Structure 1
Amino acid sequence: MQQKYQSERLGIEPIPKLLKNLSVPAMVGMFVMALYNIVDTIFISYAVGISAVAGLTISFPVIMIIMAVSVAMGMGGASVISRLLGAQKEKEANQVFGNIITMIIFVSIIGAIAAFTILEPMLILFGATPDILGYSVDYMFPILLGTFLFSFGFATNAIVRSEGNAKLSMNIMIISSVLNIILDAIFIFGFNMGVRGAAYASVLSQGVISVIFLHYFLTGKSSLSLRIADLAPKYKIIKEVFAIGLPGFMQQAAGGIMVVSINTMLIRFGSEFHVGLFGIVQRISMFMLMPLVGIMQGMQPLVGYNFGANKFTRLKETVWIGLKVSTLLSTIIFIIMMIFPKYFMMIFTSDAEVIKSGTDAIRILFATAFFIGVPVVCGGIFQALGKVKLALILSMSRQLLFLIPLVLILPHFFGVNGVWMAFPISDALSFGLAAFLLYRNRDLILRDDDLTVETETEALLPVKENTVIGEPLAKSSEA
């Protein structure tokens, strides 16, 4: 029996309660996932050294390519599915889900082929030097062979959240992360496998959660059902999913370009030591930003469902609460990173030079951290609404339009510190852009008039011109 109430409660229960119930599990899950990345780096730093951490940092853009495609499928599909469920169109939602699975299979084949053909040249292109290339190859080869497991796990996780089952999403992320940490210790220290052991641990843990997700969908516990007939690819569905997922794809892809640019400038104006240092600082940054990602992920099902159901008063309440909470969290992050950066670095290493350099870098990176909440939340709002253009502008702005140019320019004047300085400047610019776009679209997001789904909603497949699946026909202003 399908749990239809799983999604219907998004339009019934109080917004503060729902946002807490959806965001807290997402935060916990993201925290645990970030923790496993941190433990991964700690194990490799102590077992192999800072050069191995540099090798992992060089390989990170390849992982971000996989994640970019997974984000496009998962978050794009989640946005479409949540609005279809809000419009009571379960059949169309199942078709979207089936097509996402088909796309994952296709992507996994490409990943496996890449492992045997272009991996080493790609890593060299991304900045791997002879001293660290071996570490990068050892890590990425198993990861690429397991592309299906990573893509399936990430995409279905987003879909589970889209139907309001944040608790399951949290539990699965916790299971994956804890298992990954245990396997890391076994493979890296027990079997003395170094960075390749870390890769094996990641692939095996992703395999476990893929099995759990598959069981969830096949046993009727989801609002969705997985049927063979829905796997048949439909161009208009695939186009719609990728159109809405494009901002997430561009954000991840831009992140990959950003890492390549940073690694290149750090080697040019510093050394491989600074690439390894960036690998550590980056993981600390990811860990600290997880609460904001959790808020954004918790908001998206609420925004998408209530927009699809034309419950605009609930949509407005969700947006305001999300903005307030994200701003408060951003301020707390700023205070913590200004006061305690040294202690974060001491977790990863006992090397005094690494600790001092990392402490200085963190304080520069987080100098305007109180700005970062609003762009993260606004990007999630526009994506959940299916406003592809707006979400794309926000997803590209910080990294592609602001950060990368600054990373390429500032080191010529400030050396390695110029790389770190690019981050707070881009955060401030992204905040300004997000606030502007939010103000320009206030009539769409902050309206109070509720309509009836039966008379006003069009959630159709195939897609009509200038519409997205499940988007109401109510007039809106879009920048």
Structure 2
Amino acid sequence: MKDSINFGTTKVSSLFRKLLMPTLLGMVSSALFVITDGIFVGRGLGSDALAAVNIVAPLFLINTGLGLMFGVGASVVASIHLSHGKPKTARINVTQAAIALSLVVLTFSMISVFWAADVARLLGSSERLLTPAVEYIYGAVPFFVFSSMLSAGMFYIRLDGSPRYAMMCNVVPALLNLIFDYLFIFVFGWGVIGAGIATSLGYIAGAGMVLCICSLWAAP
């Protein structure tokens, strides 16, 4: 899974070339989540459903921000320990960050789900859009912990010298989201909540890929 990148000995210019394209493609794939949902929801469910999805979008931004915050912070601290020849301490820092992130996001998700209608109104939902907005919250928000772990995990995996695997952790979920969006909206007719579940399943797959490589780090 590793791309044979040694951050301690490889030239900066070479590191830049090896990290640039996988990182860019991963970011583009991540953006496809939003684009895909917009296309399928707009086409299959209409303008009201699309508006409801956009109303809930700030919750995704907050969740992604939490993942980036813990991911960047932990990877910086871990890289310092790695440069000092302390890989065990680096793994402990990453584990602590992952646990803290999970607790914060789970709390955020529980609040958003239990008071879904109030949260939707706070985000600007009208009574007309309230039902689809709440449905989308029910379909997507309970699984936010997987999305945040995916966001944070990208930094840990790149730090391990595996930017191409990190890219695939974004590409695979984006493709799965596209497939599930089509199935749940057009084939099964699950509506807005189906779009939320499709997005969640994509994030679950990505988080599973992150946990897979993390389990290899923990192996003796």
TM-score (norm 2): 0.91
Equivalent position to 1:144, from 120, 141, 145: 141
- Give 1:81's match in structure 2, choosing from 78, 83, 103: 78
How big is the shift at 1:160? 0.9
Q: Answer whether contact 2:63 2:105 (CA < 8 A) is retained.
A: no
2:157 maps to which residue? 160
Partners in 2 of 1:19 and 1:116 — Cα distance?
41
Residues 1:181 and 2:178 are matched in the alignment = yes
Is contact 1:115–1:141 with CA below 8 Å preserved after alignment? no
Greater RCO (Cα-Cα under 8 Å, separation 6 or more): 2
Could you tell me how far apart the structure 2 residues matched to 1:39 and 1:112 are? 23
Q: Which residue of 2 aligns with 1:171?
A: 168
> Structure 1 residues 30 and 192, CA, compared in 2 at 3 Å: closer, same or farther?
same
- State the distance in 2 between where 1:86 and 1:163 align: 12
Tell me the distance in 2 between the aligned counterparts of 1:6 and 1:84.
20
**Deviation of residue 187 (structure 1)?**
0.5
Q: Find the counterpart in structure 2 of residue 31 from structure 1.
A: 28
Q: Are 1:195 and 2:192 an aligned pair? A: yes
Matched residues, number: 219
Q: Deviations over 1:188-232 (max 9, x none)?
A: 111112221111011111112222221211124xxxx389xxxxx
* Counterpart contact for 1:111–1:145, Cα < 8 Å: no
User: Is the 2:184–2:195 contact (alpha carbons within 8 Å) kept by the matching residues of 1?
Assistant: yes
Maintained 8 Å contact 1:94/1:226: no
Q: Runs in 1 of length 4+ with deviation above 4 angstroms?
A: none
Q: Report if the CA contact (8 A) 1:33-1:177 is conserved.
A: yes
Asked if residue 135 in structure 1 is aligned to residue 132 in structure 2, the reply is yes
CA contact (8 A) 1:157 1:169 kept: yes
Gaps of 5+ in 1: 228-479
Is the contact made by 2:113 and 2:141 (CA closer than 8 Å) also made in structure 1? no
Pairwise CA RMSD: 2.0
Name the SS of the counterpart of 1:170 in structure 2.
Answer: helix
Q: How does 1:432-443 map to 2 (within 5 A)?
A: none
1:319-398 correspondence to structure 2 within 5 Å:
none
- Residue of structure 2 aligned with 1:68, choices 65, 73, 76: 65
TM-score by length of structure 1 reads 0.43
More helix per residue: 1 or 2?
2
Match of 2:203 among 203, 206, 209: 206
Rounded Cα–Cα distance in structure 2 between residues aligned with 1:21 and 1:154:
20
Query: Could you list the runs of 5+ residues in structure 2 that have no partner in the other structure?
Result: none
Deviation readout 1:340-361 (Å, 9 max, x if unpaired): xxxxxxxxxxxxxxxxxxxxxx
CA contact (8 A) 1:153 1:206 kept: yes
For residues 31 and 95 of structure 2, what CA distance do their matches in structure 1 show?
29
Letter in 2 for 1:217: C
Contact 1:152–1:210 (CA under 8 A) maintained in structure 2: yes
Partner of 1:88, secondary structure, is coil
Does residue 1:93 correspond to 2:90, yes or no? yes
Matched letter for residue 117 of structure 2: E
2:49 aligns with one of 49, 52, 61: 52
